[in-house]
Chain A
């Protein structure tokens, strides 16, 4: 239990450090960090499915997309959500993500493994198709521009202010998801991942558990989408396309599935490599590819698995807790 507390403290400390450093960086770094946090929420929401429930979804961008498009459509067509009503948009964004997940879940959750993967992929591409083809609503391939960020006393046009808002949403989301996965409900999800049949024999309605997890993940996806829309000021079908879902999946795998914070770390590293390294060197794609390959080859538990590996490599004073940890994992 003690090591869990240490981890929570470390995450909290990292967030505080982030909040202290980022405001002094250039606007590019601020925007990059904001993007990493917004995408981090999406990656963590996917981790609820992948890491805890054992459902590899390739359609998480769908909820992200509807959240983003809802924000953009409300802002441009109805001038809604530019003041205090931004908070209503946040609520609507979460709801639309959850409602869409509730709908998709009816089709997807009855399947598992590769079939679940294919169904979520197909449903996700349906949303992409709508975004791409429903010209009158989504602007098709040209996307939708949001002219300004909301201003409700707090002027979000300032990148640093907006960063703190997203950091706030990120922290709250992470706490909520953390509480969720450690609740009895979250433990039943882990049970389902390990052995669904046994859970059924124990009397759990495993379909309902998975369905609810699916909806919750969708809600957080919608929230991430709302923040993403205002981060970039533009929403295009690119935000809903398959590669966005794949990105989220890779981020979770890179950071470590079933660790929650792993998704956020993965998001930070991938965006850092892709958007920051690409401003420095032209061969950034090799680095990104190399990181993926090395992680999958040598770190099957992701970057968050490093401390465990480290302790196994140096059996010393921390021997006992490492053994505990190793048995606690998976």
Chain B
């Protein structure tokens, strides 16, 4: 059910919600958090709401979409309430803000936050330089940004690193979870040797590749190399060098990864690029600060970015060839 409330106020929205609850039964019971999505009003807004609805199946929540409309207009708040089938398993309140209101999202959001429940803020596209200092970000325990959606992703990552406050997280980091799980699982197995070098190869502007190299630098205490791949999307390969042989994950086609370890046959694993909806569902699972993300952000400047491009590697090639390009 979709209810439109044009040119309205938040107290009218609240009254409507109470009315819907009384009329329609338990629509707002059992919500575990409020998800505030801050975006510009555009055709991309619906996709974002879709992703939130999908995630809400795991975490029943109230979704408030702050959609900034035309700045040069008279101040107006249009609200739209979606419950039941049109809202997945959550309830969605879309607030379209016009004129000077468009930068006053926080004032419209505060009255609609669920009592007692934590708040999560998500900027699916452009994000403020310091999310924690943003007026909506201040209301939230967890702040989700997406540097891959920024115009200049590697620069965006640096901005994140500078403005990091506990509770910040970025979808470029979430997209790494399966890669990190595979690498950690590969290192669980004998021989338990130190990793002596690491190389991450990926698309030129992939923030996930940067973060992966940073994470490896931080955890392995060495300058991981970040090389730009000539072809392939996202992260193309990761190599961990050890005395007895390398651990490699190659994913040239953006879909299937091949894990190679010494004395083991190659193993293939589905390693597709994760959709936003799955990333959001993962982000909502824990609302405490992600210290490992923090440490990885701080390690971005430890990554060795020599500027070489990697040639697509055959299995028999050893990374020593790549390292032979001396200097940084």
State yes or no: do A and B come from one complex. Answer: no
